[in-house]
Amino acid sequence: MANWVFIGLRTGIRTSPYPRRADLAPGVSPGRPAPAVAYDEAMAAAAEHCPVDAINRRGSELAIDENRCVHCSRCRSGADRSGIPWESGYEWGAYTQPAAAREALDRRFGRSLHIRFIDAGACGACMSEARQLNNPYYNITRLGFFITPTPRNADVLLVAGPISDAMRTPLLKAYAALPAPKRVMAIGACAICGGVFGPSFVCAGGLRELLPVDVVVPGCPPPPLAILHGLLVLVDRKPPREPPKEGSATPSSQAPQESFP
Amino acid sequence: MASSPLEVKSGPVDVLEIAPARWSGRAAVTFDSSARVCRMETRVEELHALCEWLTAEAGYVFATLVVEESPAESWSLRYLFYAPSGLRAEVLVRTEGPHPSVPSLSDLPEGPSYDWHEREAEDLFGVNFPGHPRLGDFVLHEDWPEGVNPMRASFDAARRLETRESNPRWRAPLILSSPGSFAMPIGPIFSDFAESSHFLLETVGEDVVRTVPRFFYKYRGLEKLAEGRPLDRVLLLAERFSGNAAFAHALALCEAAEEICGVEVPQRARVLRTVLAELERLRHHAATITGICHSTALGVAASQAALIEEDLLRLTCQVAGHRYLFGALAPGGLCFDPGEAQCERLKASSGEAAQRLAQLHSQLRYSSSFLDRLEEVGIVSREAALSYGLVGPIARASGVSRDLRKLCPYLAYETCDFPVAIQHEGDGYARLRVFFQEAQTSVAIIRELLNELPSGPVLAGAALTPRSGSAWRAVETPSGAAFHYLRLHRDGTVARYRVTPAAFVNWHGFHLAAENFAFQDFPIILASFGLSNAECDR
Amino acid sequence: MSLGAGLLVSFFALCALGGLGAFGVPRGLLPRWIAGVGSVCALTALTLAAIVLVGGETFHITLWPVLSLGRPSLSADRLSGLFLFVTGLVYLPVSLFSSHYLLKHAEHRNLRYFSLLYHSLFAAIALVLVADDAISFLVGWEAMSIISYLLVTFEDREESAQAGYVMLAMSEAGSVAVIIAFVLAAGSQETLDFAALRTGAAMLGPSLKWAIFLLSFFGFAVKAGLVPRNSWLPLAHPAAPTNVSALLSAVIVNLGIYGIARFALDLAPVRSPNAGLIVLLVGSVSALVGILYATIQSELKRLLAHSTIENMGIVAAGLGACLVFVSTGHEVAASIALVAALYHLTNHSIYKALLFVGTGLIEERTGTRDLDRLGGLIRHLPWTSGLFLIGVLSIAALPPLNGFVSEWLTLQTILRSEELASTPDRVLFAVSGALLALTAGLAVTCFAKVFSMGFLGIARSNGAARATEAPRSTRWPLGILAAACIALGVLPTYVIPVIDGASSPFVHASATIALVPPFFDRESQQREHVPETFLAEFHGLGSEVGHDIVPGRGLVVLHRGEERNPVVFAMSTSYTAIVLGLIVGASFVLFRALTWRRRLTRSAAWDGGIRRLWPGITYTATGFSNPVRVVFRALLRPTTVEDSTEAVATHFRTAIRREDADVPITDRLILGPPVRALQQAAALVRRMHVGHVNAYAGYVLFALLFALIVGVVALFH
């Protein structure tokens, strides 16, 4: 008979320091193309490789549409991974609407938020990353986040996948079953804009088409800490990564980046 | 059921030797020596007899059915088979017209292997299979308009079908008639992180008599989307339709493309590809073990396994730049070279993971409450596994030692020696043991190959020159054998891409295990299969 | 002629009018005729019973002599009065219900004949209850048995014919035992009136007394449906028209208990605790067997019939406990036990009648009484469902309704076994207590199933989906019975003295003083019977305050009269009802206050996101109770038949048929072996029928030889 209590205690605490401090463990996030780089010939060549047209030029600088990026690594072309530099980090959660248009969630939700995860055609990577939220490293229950099996008890729908048509009815029913105030979070490029599956004959290509999305967590897949950041953003416990304003090349908020050398 | 293709035969018959004489005048037999494929073209009327002969007497195993419409309303159906000798066979029939009709093979002893392929082809192409008792309502659910077949050439993949009405009187067919019998619906949204799929458990309460699974809630039309796209873009699809086995599927696509275009992959890339495929298998099995521990509510064990899984994800990210190996492959090799330091890290960390898994296994072996819930639960018999053509760890847990890494070795598997994990009970615990053993095997392969890693480039020097042609590859993905069929146009765009993942085959066998069990065992049976719906649904 | 005798004569006259007068009534008016005359009969019986039971009125009518067997006579004591009162209380609403229910029979059934049977049955029941000698008792008893048989087979279907036949055979076997018991008791007495039997039986030896007890107990147990003679009841009761089923299950079964009680307490008491223990154990086992089969039933009437066995078992257990306490000299405990048994009998009659009448209505509105095909009725039949719910809560013994009071008293009585001296007796009491506790638990499961599967959820058949509320006139009978359930539940302190009046003459002690002491009532004459410690205890509890707030009595309590832990048990459904009412009211107010000015949205139940729920994927009654079936598989031993059909090949199954057949446990264990032995003997005999002439010639030869040998042996002796 294995003594599971002892085994558990012997393992010790493995919990990530995030969100108190930045989690600098290697491999927690694959990172993504860094937007704030000067645009030059090499960059233009690298941008050619982008299969989802996420790399554009804005003035003299590179502009990257994070929501479209599918982490294909092609912009860091070649075996030596030259090309567009990638930044580390994972604080990717962002509101879809400017602060003025948002209706803040009651502060009480900051302490306990119940989440219903919905797989609307996700490939398994997003699902796996969301599942990791419950592993001892990330352990979201310590932060008051709970995954519930029924939307009746949930405050947030966490949706992944390009919204396949067969999941449209279940998704809408789950949204209807959610008690107000309800919030919707789209995780992964597929749920945000359809990703590589795009709008097609069987996919709506993005959650926006069906439901009002509050927070998006880009990535393909977004690592667990990015999803966690999205949840913290939703309850105002972390500042969001604001969407870039029209005409400006640099994203307005770079604050979270400072902790990652 | 007696004709178990791989084991009962003393040795598979060389089709090439006897087929021309046996089928003279009935089938045209040719042999492609470079691809080691025996091609047999026959008439629709002869198809049933030929396929029966091929499986029952020649010892071949059905792999997949590839339907192609080219040009419009001119149909070719390719039945692909493989044999333990490493030889492969292709049976081709052609037919014309807007309503093609090919006899169903589902009444053969191996009928269940053909069953779902025929249903899929009927749904997506509108090919009729007279003699099949259960056509319709498979990939496309009841709200899809009758008579619209999305895989036909005339169907536009970008076209959205806006309003869809479903018949309110539609009911899933239930077959249990017992006083007070009913069906317990599960899903499509259920449990905490379950993938979207729907099960109807036919029961009279407490004991479930039969499980009716309903899949393709996640059908994203992978094969249709691939058509007409450049290979480069299709690679993205192949990686992203099933994140759990992204590398294995991308590998199958790349290998098929390399075969068509005649690209020689550098030796270092071949070995590294093998290493990464095994790393993916290791992580997949760790995730499955986590799921099994979780389903039995053994919290500490689930946490231990989850720690190993997350450590492997981080390791993968360090080695390959992505936690799920997206973007690692390119036709002709690999996109990156991990370098000496990362290879050393990989060797050390995978060894450590193996040790931790072994420890977990020995701890689980002495947890009787855990074993009670797995032993003799969800049994798949060897006969059923053979008849359904099950693959991968599920088949190996039922005593069917089918492993494509051994049967038709590819990459560096030819050179390394490893045991095929095999168990005979066919229950949940047998599957768990197979997952544990294969994880150990994967680590052994990784360490063996990294010890003698050849030097050189990881990407073929010359760029891929597009050629028209077709090829098909069989790859042992973490969940079992997957078959990718690829046909390229002259300009390098994809004409037809057919994926038959292991989950598609093994989900078909799921109902065998989910029969006559107590309701509370359902999540455990589900977890012990460790199958992905994303992979099955495509 | 006294008032009582006058009422009795007019009652019989009314029954005769109802039965015979029907032949002069136009066909269309017959349902109303039956309802009208039946209710008047019932009211007369109720008045008669009330003046006997409460007023203590007695009468004695001597009839004409019959042959040499003496002069039959009729009289009534309070026990008869109680049973007659219960009969009247059931007959009244059932008659009212009949006026509507029989309309569907008006076209193609001979309702005149039905009216004759219906009123004769009432008269026969009354005759059994007021009989004061063996002859009139047996005449009434046989008349009742035969009329019940005719009513069971009234609908003229094959299964009713068979059920009626089994019922008649069983019942006649019981009658034979009862007749022998009477003959033994009469002994050398010249007349067969009960007074003579009492004196005669008192002089008999113990073995004869035992024989009388066993014959009478097992003879009457047939009617009460106690094991091992229970298997006819679930067949016969549902086979009858529903109004008759209600009478069979709510009234006729009581007569079995009446017979047992009359013999064991009054005519020929055995005075041995073992007799009581037999009754106790038979009762407890009946209760468990009854509820077990009820739980796995999904046909509503059959379920109710099984539950009748359960309830009669509980009554018998109380009666058995009473017999044990009487013979061991614990009069107070005996009086409580008898009150509990009679209280439960009364309650059972009322809620069982309510449930049967409700079932009749539901069957009429939906066309089915199979719980697997009902569902969602609360939306279509709110009134019927609400009244049915009161019956369900009562029979499931939930406070503050009447079933709770009597079951709780019965269980408490059985826990009084600590007063017994003998250890084996205590063990048997503990066993029967455990059986009854299990029964109570299963009863909740069973009736939770009835209500949740029949009335909640979604309809599982077209009939249930399209049902409409029953007309107002048919809800009255349900309302009367439901009101009685509530009254008997929340006012036990007023009911117990009345029942005690009927039971105390037999146990020579009063349960009223023990259970409902008048300590609230400072002016009461009886207050001096209440010990000081008792009063002190309740002064501590604030009874003085209660006196000002709560009018009258409201507490059922047993006191030991000792300093330490003086209160044995205490319970008040009256206060429970008040508190429950307050909680429900307060919750409603609170809910309203909290949701004041908030937007409330109603949405469908969460179904996992499937496109739509349909009846085939919701729980059925069989599914609900299947865990019980699985847990008790060893007892129930269902024989399962499973087969499947395939299309094309074995892996395409197109149908699985599975059926569980339950053989009643008593048939299997007790009646089965002799039947099997008989069949085996028959098979042996049949084996001799080989069909060869030579063989038959051989048999003849052997028979001759045997006869010769016997003859020769006899000759030489």
Q: Tokens 């009457």 appear where?
A: C220
Coil, strand, or helix at residue B477? Answer: strand
Do residue C372 and residue B186 have CB atoms under 8 angstroms apart?
no
Whether B74 and B93 have beta carbons less than 8 Å apart is answered as: no
Which conformational region is residue C595 in: left (phi greater than 0), alpha (psi within -120 to 50 degrees), or beta? Answer: alpha
**Would you state the pLDDT for residue B1?**
37
Q: How far apart are CA C717 and CA C708, in angstroms?
A: 14
**Tokens representing C244?**
């008759």
Task: Average the pLDDT over A179-203 and give the result.
Answer: 87
Q: How far apart are CA C687 and CA C36, in angstroms?
A: 61
Touching A: B residues 152-181, CB under 8 Å = 155-161, 164
* pLDDT confidence tier of residue B458, bands split at 50, 70 and 90: confident
How many other β-carbons are positioned within 10 Å of the β-carbon of residue C711? 10
Q: Give contacts of C607 with chain A, Cβ < 8 Å.
A: 173
**Does residue B11 have a pLDDT over 70?**
no
What is the percentage of chain B residues whose pLDDT exceeds 90? 16
Closest-CA residue of A relative to C609 is A170
Task: Average the pLDDT over A235-244 and give the result.
Answer: 75
Q: What is the pLDDT of chain C when averaged over all its residues? A: 84
Task: Average the pLDDT over C376-398 and give the result.
Answer: 91
How are the residues of chain C apportioned to helix, strand and coil, as percentages rounded to the nearest 5? 70, 5, 25
Closest-CA residue of B relative to A28 is B314
| CA contacts within 13 A on the Cβ side of B318 | 21
Do residue B158 and residue A30 have CB atoms under 8 angstroms apart?
no
Do residue A151 and residue C611 have CB atoms under 8 angstroms apart?
no
pTM over 0.95: no
**Would you state the pLDDT for residue C587?**
95
**Would you state the pLDDT for residue C533?**
64
Q: What angle do CA B128, B134, B139 make, to 5 degrees?
A: 75
Q: Quick one: DSSP state of residue B472?
A: E
Residue B300 touches partner A, C-beta closer than 8 Å: yes
Whether C408 and C397 have beta carbons less than 8 Å apart is answered as: yes
**Would you state the pLDDT for residue B3?**
40
**Would you state the pLDDT for residue B4?**
40
Q: Tokens 């919750």 appear where?
A: C587
* pLDDT confidence tier of residue C132, bands split at 50, 70 and 90: confident
**Could you read off the pLDDT of A133-143 as tens digits, one per residue?**
988 999 999 98
Substitution target in C602, C603, C607 with the highest count of A β-carbons within 10 Å is: C603
How many other β-carbons are positioned within 10 Å of the β-carbon of residue C308? 27
Q: Give contacts of B534 with chain A, Cβ < 8 Å.
A: 121-124, 127
- The DSSP code sequence of B107-176 is TSTTHHHHHHHHHHHHHHH--B-TT-S--SSSSS-TTSPTT--TTSTTS-TT---------TT------E
| Of B89-93, B346-350, C401-405, C552-556, minimum mean pLDDT range | C552-556
What length is written for chain A?
261
Nearest to C606 among A171, A177, A180 (CB): A177
Do residue B180 and residue C372 have CB atoms under 8 angstroms apart?
yes
Q: What is the pLDDT of chain B when averaged over all its residues? A: 85
- The DSSP code sequence of B47-108 is HHHHHHHHHHTS--EEEEEEEEE-STTEEEEEEEEE-TTS-EEEEEEEEESSS-B----TTS
Q: How far apart are CA B326 and CA B235, in angstroms?
A: 10
**Would you state the pLDDT for residue C67?**
65
Residues 6+ apart with CB under 8 A from C582: none
**Would you state the pLDDT for residue B10?**
39
* pLDDT confidence tier of residue C528, bands split at 50, 70 and 90: low
Handedness of CA C133, C136, C139, C141 (dihedral sign): negative
Task: Average the pLDDT over A90-119 and give the result.
Answer: 82
Q: How far apart are CA C502 and CA C78, in angstroms?
A: 4
**Could you read off the pLDDT of C490-527 as tens digits, one per residue?**
888 888 888 988 888 888 888 887 777 665 555 555 55
What is the percentage of chain B residues whose pLDDT exceeds 70? 95
**Would you state the pLDDT for residue C5?**
85
**Does residue C282 have a pLDDT over 70?**
yes
Whether C484 and C347 have beta carbons less than 8 Å apart is answered as: no
Task: Average the pLDDT over A32-40 and give the result.
Answer: 73
**Could you read off the pLDDT of B374-429 as tens digits, one per residue?**
888 888 988 888 888 888 899 999 988 888 888 888 888 888 888 888 888 888 89
Q: Which H/E stretch holds residue C136?
A: helix C134-152
Q: How far apart are CA B23 and CA B25, in angstroms?
A: 6
**Does residue A249 have a pLDDT over 60?**
no
**Tokens representing C616?**
């085939």
Do residue C648 and residue B132 have CB atoms under 8 angstroms apart?
yes
Substitution target in A135, A148, A158 with the highest count of B β-carbons within 10 Å is: A135
Nearest to C623 among B174, B188, B204 (CB): B204
Q: If you count DSSP H runs as helices and E runs as strands, how many of each does chain B have, helices first? A: 17, 15
Q: Would you give the distance in Å from CA B445 to the centre of its chain?
A: 22
**Could you read off the pLDDT of B36-78 as tens digits, one per residue?**
778 888 888 888 888 888 888 777 888 888 988 877 788 888 8
**Could you read off the pLDDT of C33-81 as tens digits, one per residue?**
888 999 999 999 999 998 888 887 778 888 777 666 677 888 888 889 9
- The DSSP code sequence of C586-642 is HHHHHHHHHTTT------PPP-TT-S---GGGS--HHHHHHHHHHHTHHHH--EEEE
Task: Average the pLDDT over B503-530 and give the result.
Answer: 88
Tell me how close the Cα of A142 comes to any Cα of chain C, in angstroms.
28
**Does residue C399 have a pLDDT over 90?**
no
How many other β-carbons are positioned within 10 Å of the β-carbon of residue C179? 16
Task: Average the pLDDT over B428-432 and give the result.
Answer: 91
Q: What angle do CA C164, C167, C171 make, to 5 degrees?
A: 140
Q: What is the pLDDT of chain A when averaged over all its residues? A: 81
**Would you state the pLDDT for residue A254?**
37
Q: How far apart are CA B164 and CA B176, in angstroms?
A: 31
**Would you state the pLDDT for residue C536?**
64
Residue C595 touches partner A, C-beta closer than 8 Å: no
- The DSSP code sequence of C79-115 is HHHHHHHHHHHHHHHHHHHHHHHGGGGTTTS-HHHHH
Q: How far apart are CA A223 and CA A227, in angstroms?
A: 7
**Could you read off the pLDDT of C312-332 as tens digits, one per residue?**
999 999 999 999 998 888 888
Q: Give contacts of C609 with chain A, Cβ < 8 Å.
A: 169-171, 173-174
Q: Give contacts of A131 with chain B, Cβ < 8 Å.
A: 193
The letter for the amino acid at B133 is P
What is the percentage of chain C residues whose pLDDT exceeds 70? 91
**Tokens representing C513?**
């003083």
**Would you state the pLDDT for residue B286?**
93
**Would you state the pLDDT for residue A253?**
38
Question: Helices C300-327 and C253-261 meet at what angle, rounded to 10?
Answer: 10
Task: Average the pLDDT over A196-211 and give the result.
Answer: 85
3-state secondary structure chain A: CCCHHHHHHHHCCCCCCCCCCCCCCCCCCCCEECCCCECCHHHHHHHHCCCCCCEEEECCEEEECCCCCCCCCCCCCCCCCCCCCEECCCCCCEECCCHHHCCCCCHHHHCCEEEEEEECCCCCHHHHHHHHCCCCCCCHHHHCEEECCCHHHCCEEEEECCCEHHHHHHHHHHHHHCCCCCEEEEEHHHHHHCCCCCCCCCECCCHHHCCCCCEEECCCCCCHHHHHHHHHHHCCCCCCCCCCCCCCCCCCCCHHHHHCC
Name B499's bridge partners: B484
When comparing pLDDT for B363 and A83, which is higher?
A: B363
Q: How far apart are CA C406 and CA C411, in angstroms?
A: 9
When comparing pLDDT for A250 and C336, which is higher?
A: C336
What was the ipTM of the complex prediction?
0.87
**Would you state the pLDDT for residue A252?**
37
Q: How far apart are CA B76 and CA B496, in angstroms?
A: 12
- The DSSP code sequence of C422-466 is -HHHHHHHHHHHHHHHHHHHHHHHHHHHHHHHHHSS--SSHHHHT
**Does residue B28 have a pLDDT over 70?**
yes
User: At residue B423, what are phi and psi to the nearest 5 degrees?
Assistant: -130, 160
**Tokens representing C377?**
């009725």
**Does residue A250 have a pLDDT over 60?**
no
Nearest to B300 among A8, A137, A202 (CB): A8
**Would you state the pLDDT for residue C665?**
73
* pLDDT confidence tier of residue B8, bands split at 50, 70 and 90: very low
Distances (CA, A) of C437 to A11, C287, C406: 48, 10, 13
**Could you read off the pLDDT of C411-436 as tens digits, one per residue?**
988 888 877 888 888 889 999 999 99
In 3D, which of A67, A36, A31 has the Cα closest to residue A52? A67
Q: How far apart are CA B288 and CA B296, in angstroms?
A: 13
Tell me how close the Cα of C613 comes to any Cα of chain A, in angstroms.
12
Residues of A near C (Cβ–Cβ under 8 Å) read 150-152, 169-171, 173-174, 176-177, 180
Tell me how close the Cα of C621 comes to any Cα of chain A, in angstroms.
25
Tell me how close the Cα of C78 comes to any Cα of chain B, in angstroms.
47
**Tokens representing A79?**
């075996």
* pLDDT confidence tier of residue C562, bands split at 50, 70 and 90: low
Tell me how close the Cα of C604 comes to any Cα of chain A, in angstroms.
8
**Could you read off the pLDDT of C600-633 as tens digits, one per residue?**
777 778 888 888 888 888 888 888 888 888 888 7
Task: Average the pLDDT over C1-21 and give the result.
Answer: 86
When comparing pLDDT for A185 and B338, which is higher?
A: A185
**Does residue C250 have a pLDDT over 70?**
yes
**Could you read off the pLDDT of B114-140 as tens digits, one per residue?**
888 888 988 888 888 888 888 878 888
